[in-house]
């Protein structure tokens, strides 16, 4: 994967670039150009999801870059995710086919269970994330171990090269590990200095599960439905982050992204702005000292910017 930056070998044996382009909240008309810019900048890992409603545009951009000869299909690592309403085993393949159909690809490199919580089939994302919704009537009770067995079949069929999860805690991961045929390769969760989750980091390293960090910059543009409703500190304005950035001659965002790479964690910053997409990739020419990593680690305040108040009464709530 030329130009990809550092990579990790997953438990599946596949290589995954540690730095990727996130596309949560990226509008369809913007993400098409963002993916093309990212590939030109050197990104070889693109993260999307069925619920983001931009898989089609992500796939179009990738196919265009393949047609230009900029990349081959095997050069780009594509991740998408199983939405909460497709957890019943008989629905997993259906959801997979919807996603690769929109992407216009024969397979994805990584397919994740987007969340351990599940909802009744047919429930719309708008209903799931509506703040005043009577969510309990929409909850479904599907054991993610059963969902996982259907995910394993996607690997057998060649539709997914690797499979993993998102928003799972260590107890939920342990159940999968005890009941799986194929180990989860990745767990994608919110991670940043204010939410270091060191116990989860250690658990995943011990079990050869790569962690991927979302909202690594503090999710400044997250939707209201995902916010706590309380006034929260701005991660990129933290005095320690700003001081370390000044020391290295980098931006606060670049320091926060490098923090993850130096912890052995993958990270997927979202942007549709070409200059920021490039700046987020320009973190390969330095590493943080052990002292600076420790200073950032001391900022941990167990602050979750995204989704802490969502689905709290669900049987499989994970926070």
Asked if 96 contacts 159 with a C-beta cutoff of 8 angstroms, the reply is yes
Would you say 114 is a known binding-site residue? yes
| Contact of 114 with 306, CB cutoff 8 Å | no
Listing DSSP states for 12-81 in one string gives TS-EEESB-EE-TT--HHHHHHHHHHHHHHT--EEE--GGGT-HHHHHHHHHHHHHHTS--GGGSEEEEE
Burial class (CB in 10 A: 0-12, 13-18, 19+), 190: buried
Structure tokens at 80: 């998408």
Question: Which two tokens mark 183?
Answer: 């180990």
Active site residue 121: no
Nearest to 232 by CA among 281, 301, 294, 169: 301
Distances (CA, A) of 102 to 26, 108, 282: 16, 12, 31
Instruction: For the beta carbon of residue 2, count every other beta carbon within 10 angstroms.
Output: 7
Query: Residues 32, 43, 52, 259: which is the catalytic one?
Result: 52
* Biggest CA-to-CA distance, the chain: 54
Query: In whole angstroms, what is the distance from residue 123 CA to residue 125 CA?
Result: 7
- Sign of the dihedral through C-alpha 142, 226, 283, 256: negative
Nearest C-alpha neighbor of 3 from the set 275, 284, 213: 284
**Residue 314 burial by CB count (10 A; 0-12/13-18/19+): exposed, middle or buried?**
buried
Helix/strand/coil for 165: strand
Query: Which residues are known to be catalytic?
Result: 52
Annotated binding site: 114
Annotated binding site for substrate: 114
């Amino acid at each position: 994967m030329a130009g990809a930056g550092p990579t990790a070998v997953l438990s599946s044996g596949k290589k995954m670039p540690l730095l990727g382009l996130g596309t949560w909240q990226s509008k369809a008309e913007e993400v098409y150009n963002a993916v093309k810019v990212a590939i030109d900048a050197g990104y070889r890992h693109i993260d999307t999801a069925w619920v983001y409603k931009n898989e089609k545009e992500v796939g179009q951009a990738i196919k265009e870059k393949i047609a230009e000869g900029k990349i081959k299909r095997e050069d780009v690592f594509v991740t998408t995710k199983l939405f909460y309403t497709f957890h019943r085993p008989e629905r997993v393949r259906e959801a997979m086919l919807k996603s690769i159909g929109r992407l216009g690809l024969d397979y994805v490199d990584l397919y994740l269970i987007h969340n351990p919580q599940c909802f009744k089939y047919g429930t719309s994302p708008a209903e799931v994330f509506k703040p005043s919704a009577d969510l309990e009537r929409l909850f479904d009770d599907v054991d993610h171990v059963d969902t996982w067995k259907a995910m394993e079949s996607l690997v057998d069929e060649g539709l997914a090269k690797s499979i993993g999860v998102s928003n799972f805690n260590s107890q939920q991961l342990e159940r999968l590990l005890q009941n799986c045929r194929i180990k989860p390769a990745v767990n994608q969760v919110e991670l940043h200095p204010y939410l270091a989750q060191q116990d989860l980091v250690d658990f995943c390293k011990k079990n050869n599960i790569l962690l991927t960090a979302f909202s690594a910059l503090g999710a400044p543009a997250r939707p209201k439905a995902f916010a706590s409703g309380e006034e929260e500190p701005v991660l990129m304005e933290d005095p320690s982050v700003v001081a370390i950035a000044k020391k290295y001659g980098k931006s606060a965002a670049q320091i926060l992204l490098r923090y993850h790479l130096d912890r052995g964690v993958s990270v997927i910053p979202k942007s549709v702005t070409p200059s920021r997409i490039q700046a987020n990739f320009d973190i390969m020419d330095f590493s943080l000292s052990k002292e600076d990593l420790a200073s950032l680690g001391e900022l941990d305040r167990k602050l979750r910017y995204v989704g802490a108040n969502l689905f709290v009464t669900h049987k499989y709530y994970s926070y």
